[in-house]
């Protein structure tokens, strides 16, 4: 079966791209792979891509707009720098090229945004990677939300207040220039938390939503340093059971204010709120999520399943426009980033000062005031297959939900896979990618066509623990702090 | 009418005489719309005696101008001394600069809209030329509302709320003024609901409007209706109370005339009651509009109606270094518009009521 499919791809490639060495490339791929599932996955996705390509080449030359079912769309977003693909797709006319007339509406907080998508007031939205998953499994409001497009990788940071930083600093090793060595582990925070506990004071930190990437990253960081960030249980949804550090929800724009007021002593949030804190002198970012887990999934573009079923052409058109926007953002080694910064600095998008946005989007990141380091991949929009919705990314978030008790019972590996497959839709992504390749906006090399939907297993975490998307339960067992298969229910 | 318009006519100018008499005639109306301070200047130009007009000028122009200048100077001096996390409090210069920025944004957005329509035209004509006229699409521009759009949205909302409030309050007020029984019945309700703040009404109004107004009419989206209804609930009380008071205090002799002539109730109301009660009714309307305008800004912030209240809220949330200056600009704009609305009501009042001076 696989041989037949690869030959069909070969023929199509040759038809479209002229001379393409068929034999060596495709057939050697068949020879090298071992697992049945991988071959099936490759075959399936390759076929989808090939079918997409053949349909495009069969059409008349020139960009033919898809026959979209619904062309007046409203998308929601939260004022964070990683809504950039939406802004770029609108301002550069990519949505219009697809025949879509889009209104971008900023939302007050993540809950309002999610409710807007569920009730249909918003056709789609810039969402946290965990939101479609949590909604589909029924944690919070239940709704089948899906995503065919991952908006970016990385882009978050953990900031602590000036007072806490002063207490942490002595315990952090310094390099030859006297600057703190990064990444800073939460072990440096541990003595501070303990001193607060001995004085009877609670140690509060903020994150943006119970199923946000920020929540799981903050918890990962704390747990890797030996601090317990608290558990959830069906009866207690505060997430603070047995916690050394108490985590609570604060909307991103209010975080610097609450940090200044002392209500929280640190937070994990996306940009521009970490750079804003350091530039206004109210806090110090200690770690970015790039150092926590290199190239971790962050935001996705979420739609209801019903929308994608009723409007398949529209969904493809949206993904096409967003892929083009992501490519523009990472083009030529981030050459367009300054233009993107100017765009985002307008009050209808992010509205923060251009300098603060540029501090994280143009290849650097400022930790302590004046301590600017090179972090070229702080925001990744297209490189490293950032836009492909990998199942393994979905499964990582599901494992973290289980780790902290938001998923109350142990689940078999197959459950993780099924849930990921029902929420993340790489099929739609690949169809859109094929159309773009056919129209000449991208080349086939830009897309991970031979992926089975799982990223390669990686250990690039701050604590070096290996993550393999195909064995979620084994991963959970390997994490020190967190619920295991045999754990009693948290809080019982 | 200004009493010192009995200006000493210079012997030379019958034309000047006519001009001065003309000015005197319109003086009342001009005064009513708030341009009374122009009158001494115009009279000076027309050749009236300088001394009297200069006294007028001092009172009407110089002193207010002095007050405003002193305020601006105090603001410019004191503002940089207060540092907040959003930077120092902006002085008048920064706010003036933001006025320019806001205008530039507006111009830019309008240009984008024109470009959008041009692109759409080009696309559609290309489709028609290719013989695919069925694919022609005409869509509205989807850009953000500019500052000017937001001002008009706020005005539209407050007008809607005010009109609904007037239509409810005046009939109830009239009934309440004419009938002691009715007054006794509704009085406790009025007294209880009068002090309720708009922010307390807003969640209830949101729920009810969301349920009852599920398919919005074009031009009146849900957020606008929610804000308008909140404005109504807070601003109908002054009109109601003043109408009731005005109607109740109609001269008894006039009522007796009506009874003697056996006028039907409707004629009593329209011929006797309403004209007498007009001054108080208009006072109520003016107060209502003032309260409504104040309430509107708060309601818009919470209901996210795209008006001036939302502008202030968005700027606050953005937290950029321009934000405070823009918020102050919005504050001044809100004040100026409120003043204008009040002046319009005052002018209408002068036009429609009989006062002792006429």
- Interchain CB distance below 8 Å, A347 and B315: yes
- Interchain CB distance below 8 Å, A347 and B320: yes
- Interchain CB distance below 8 Å, A106 and B314: yes
CB-based contact (8 Å) between B319 and chain A? yes
Q: Are residues A446 and A397 in the same domain?
A: yes
Q: What is the pLDDT of residues B238-264, one digit of tens each?
A: 999 999 999 999 988 888 988 899 989
Q: Which of B84, B85, B215, B216 to mutate against chain A (most A CBs within 10 Å)? A: B85
The CATH number linked to A397 is 3.40.190.10
pLDDT of residue A489: 59
Residue A492 lies in a domain: no
What's the pLDDT band for B85 if we cut at 50, 70, 90?
low
Q: What is the pLDDT of residues A75-86, one digit of tens each?
A: 999 989 999 999
Q: What is the pLDDT of residues A382-393, one digit of tens each?
A: 999 999 999 999
Q: Are residues A145 and A19 in the same domain?
A: no
CB-based contact (8 Å) between A259 and chain B? no
Helix (H, G, I), strand (E, B) or coil at B89: coil
Residue A183, Ramachandran bin (φ over 0: left; ψ between -120 and 50: alpha; else beta): beta
Q: What is the pLDDT of residues A265-311, one digit of tens each?
A: 999 999 889 998 888 888 999 999 899 999 999 999 999 999 999 99
- How near does any CA of chain A get to the CA of B120, in Å? 9
Helix (H, G, I), strand (E, B) or coil at A365: strand
Tell me what the mean pLDDT of segment A389-402 comes to: 93
Determine the residue of chain B that is closest to A72 in CA distance: B139
Distance CA A160, CA A265 (A): 6
CB contacts, 8 Å: B327 with chain A? none
Give the end of a domain, one of A255, A271, A288. A288
Domain span holding position A272: 156-288
Q: Are residues A309 and A458 in the same domain?
A: yes
Domains of chain A: total: 3
CB contacts, 8 Å: A96 with chain B? 116, 119
pLDDT of residue B265: 85
CB-based contact (8 Å) between A333 and chain B? no
Strand partners for A158: A268, A287
Distance CA A41, CA A453 (A): 7
Q: Are residues A78 and A218 in the same domain?
A: no
CB contacts, 8 Å: B318 with chain A? 79, 253, 347, 350-352
Q: Are residues A244 and A192 in the same domain?
A: yes
Spatial neighbors of B21 by CB under 8 A, at least 6 apart, are: none
Residue A482 lies in a domain: no
- Interchain CB distance below 8 Å, B318 and A351: yes
pLDDT of residue A238: 87
CB-based contact (8 Å) between A17 and chain B? no
CB-based contact (8 Å) between B130 and chain A? no
Q: Are residues A403 and A462 in the same domain?
A: yes
pLDDT of residue B216: 78
Which ipTM was obtained for this model?
Answer: 0.71
Please state, as a whole number, how many other Cβ atoms lie within 10 Å of the Cβ of residue B134: 7
Q: Are residues A160 and A146 in the same domain?
A: no
**β pairing state of A72-77 and A124-128:** parallel
Superfamily of domain B149-352: MetI-like (1.10.3720.10)
Structural tokens at position A6: 């690869």
CB-based contact (8 Å) between A261 and chain B? no
Q: Are residues A444 and A309 in the same domain?
A: yes
Tell me what the mean pLDDT of segment B119-141 comes to: 82
Q: Are residues A175 and A308 in the same domain?
A: no
Residue A67 lies in a domain: no
- Interchain CB distance below 8 Å, A72 and B139: yes
Give the end of a domain, one of A288, A320, A338. A288
Determine the residue of chain A that is closest to B145 in CA distance: A348
Helix (H) or strand (E) holding B43: helix B38-45
CB contacts, 8 Å: B144 with chain A? 348
Q: What is the pLDDT of residues A137-178, one digit of tens each?
A: 998 888 999 999 999 999 899 999 999 999 998 888 888 888
- Interchain CB distance below 8 Å, A257 and B85: yes
pLDDT of residue A45: 64
- Interchain CB distance below 8 Å, A353 and B317: no
Tell me what the mean pLDDT of segment B67-79 comes to: 92
**Most trustworthy range by pLDDT among A41-45, A52-56, A329-333, B1-5:** A329-333
Structural tokens at position B274: 């309403």
pLDDT of residue A35: 54
CA torsion, points A279, A284, A290, A291, in degrees to nearest 10? 150
Of A53-67, B148-162, B277-291, the least confident: A53-67
CB contacts, 8 Å: A79 with chain B? 317-318
What's the pLDDT band for B49 if we cut at 50, 70, 90?
confident
Work out the angle at residue A93's Cα, subtended by the Cα atoms of residues A92 and A97, and round it to the nearest 5 degrees: 145
Candidate from B144, B314, B318 with C-beta closest to A352: B318
pLDDT at A29 over 80: no
Maximum C-alpha span of chain A: 74
What's the pLDDT band for B217 if we cut at 50, 70, 90?
confident
CB-based contact (8 Å) between A351 and chain B? yes
pLDDT at A15 over 50: no
Q: Are residues A232 and A335 in the same domain?
A: no
- How near does any CA of chain A get to the CA of B119, in Å? 9
Q: What is the pLDDT of residues A183-204, one digit of tens each?
A: 899 999 999 999 999 999 999 9
Structural tokens at position A133: 């998953």
Residue A263's closest CA among A278, A242, A248, A243? Answer: A248
CB-based contact (8 Å) between A101 and chain B? yes
- Interchain CB distance below 8 Å, B317 and A253: yes
């Amino acid at each position: 079966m696989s041989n037949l499919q690869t030959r069909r791809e070969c023929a199509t490639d040759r038809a479209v791209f002229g001379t393409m060495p068929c034999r060596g490339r495709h057939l050697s791929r068949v020879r090298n792979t071992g697992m049945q599932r991988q071959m099936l996955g490759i075959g399936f996705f390759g076929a989808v891509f090939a079918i997409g390509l053949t349909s495009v080449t069969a059409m008349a030359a020139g960009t033919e707009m898809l026959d979209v079912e619904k062309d007046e769309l409203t998308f929601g977003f939260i004022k964070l720098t990683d809504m950039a693909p939406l802004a770029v797709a609108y301002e550069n006319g990519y949505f219009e090229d697809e025949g879509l007339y889009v209104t971008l509406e900023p939302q007050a907080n993540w809950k309002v945004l999610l409710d807007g998508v569920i009730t249909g007031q918003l056709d789609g939205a810039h969402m946290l990677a965990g939101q479609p998953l949590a909604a589909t499994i029924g944690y919070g409001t239940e709704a089948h939300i899906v995503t065919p497009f991952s908006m970016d990788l990385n882009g978050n940071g953990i900031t602590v207040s000036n007072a806490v930083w002063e207490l942490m600093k002595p315990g952090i090793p310094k390099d030859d220039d006297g600057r703190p060595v990064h990444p800073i582990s939460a072990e440096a925070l541990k003595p501070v938390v303990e001193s607060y506990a001995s004085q009877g004071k609670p140690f509060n930190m903020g994150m943006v939503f119970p199923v946000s990437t920020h929540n799981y990253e903050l918890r990962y960081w704390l747990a890797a340093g030996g601090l317990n960030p608290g558990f959830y249980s069906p009866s207690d949804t505060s997430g603070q059971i047995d916690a050394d550090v108490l985590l609570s929800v604060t909307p991103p724009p209010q975080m610097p204010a609450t940090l200044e007021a002392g209500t929280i002593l640190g937070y994990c949030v996306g940009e521009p709120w970490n750079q804003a804190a350091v530039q206004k002198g109210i806090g110090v970012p200690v770690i970015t999520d790039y150092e926590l887990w290199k190239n971790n999934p962050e935001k996705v573009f979420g739609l209801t399943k019903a929308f994608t079923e009723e409007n398949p052409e529209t969904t493809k058109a949206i993904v096409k426009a967003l892929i083009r926007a992501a490519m523009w953002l990472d083009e030529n080694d981030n050459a367009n980033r300054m233009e993107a910064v100017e765009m985002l600095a307008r009050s209808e998008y992010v509205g923060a000062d251009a300098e603060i946005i540029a501090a994280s989007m143009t290849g650097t990141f400022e930790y302590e005031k004046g301590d600017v380091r090179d972090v070229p991949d702080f925001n990744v929009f297209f490189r490293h297959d950032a836009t492909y919705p990998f199942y393994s990314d979905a499964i990582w978030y599901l494992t973290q939900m289980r780790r902290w008790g938001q998923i109350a019972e142990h689940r078999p590996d197959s459950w993780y896979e099924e849930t990921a497959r029902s929420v993340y839709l790489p099929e739609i992504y690949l169809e859109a990618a094929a159309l773009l390749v056919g129209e000449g906006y991208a080349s086939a090399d830009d897309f991970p066509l031979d992926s089975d939907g799982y990223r390669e297993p990686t250990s690039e975490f701050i604590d070096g623990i290996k993550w393999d998307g195909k064995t979620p339960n084994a991963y959970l067992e390997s994490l020190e702090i967190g619920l295991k298969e045999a754990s009693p229910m948290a809080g019982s | 009418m200004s009493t010192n318009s009995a200006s000493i006519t210079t012997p030379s100018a019958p034309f000047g005489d006519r001009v001065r008499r003309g000015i005197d005639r319109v003086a009342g109306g001009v005064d009513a719309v708030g341009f009374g301070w122009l009158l001494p200047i115009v009279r000076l130009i027309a050749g009236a005696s300088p001394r009297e007009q200069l006294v007028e000028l001092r009172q009407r122009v110089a002193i207010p101008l002095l007050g405003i200048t002193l305020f601006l100077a105090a603001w410019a001096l004191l503002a940089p001394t207060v540092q907040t996390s959003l930077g120092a409090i902006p002085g008048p210069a920064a706010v003036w600069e933001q006025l320019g920025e806001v205008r530039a944004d507006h111009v830019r957005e309008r240009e984008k809209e024109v470009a959008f329509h041009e692109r759409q035209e080009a696309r559609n004509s290309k489709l028609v030329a290719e013989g695919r006229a069925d694919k022609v699409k005409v869509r509205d521009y989807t850009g953000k509302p500019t500052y000017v759009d937001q001002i008009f949205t706020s005005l539209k909302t407050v007008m809607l709320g005010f009109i609904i409030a007037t239509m409810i309050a005046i009939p109830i007020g009239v009934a309440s003024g004419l009938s002691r029984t009715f007054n006794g019945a509704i009085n406790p309700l009025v007294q209880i609901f009068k002090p309720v703040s708009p922010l307390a009404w807003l969640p209830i109004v949101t729920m009810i409007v969301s349920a009852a107004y599920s398919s919005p009419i074009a031009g009146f989206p849900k957020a606008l209706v929610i804000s308008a209804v909140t404005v109504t609930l807070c601003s109908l009380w002054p009109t109601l109370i003043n109408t009731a008071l005005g109607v109740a205090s109609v001269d008894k002799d006039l009522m007796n005339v009506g009874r003697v002539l056996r006028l039907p109730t409707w004629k009593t109301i329209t011929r006797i009651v309403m004209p007498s009660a007009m001054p108080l009714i208009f006072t109520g309307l003016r107060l209502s509009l003032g309260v409504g305008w104040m309430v509107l800004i708060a309601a818009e912030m919470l209901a996210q109606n795209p008006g001036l209240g939302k502008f202030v809220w968005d700027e606050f949330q953005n937290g950029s270094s321009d934000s405070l200056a823009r918020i102050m600009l919005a504050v001044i704009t809100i004040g100026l518009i409120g003043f204008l609305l009040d002046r319009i009501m005052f002018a209408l009042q002068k036009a429609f009521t009989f006062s002792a001076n006429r």
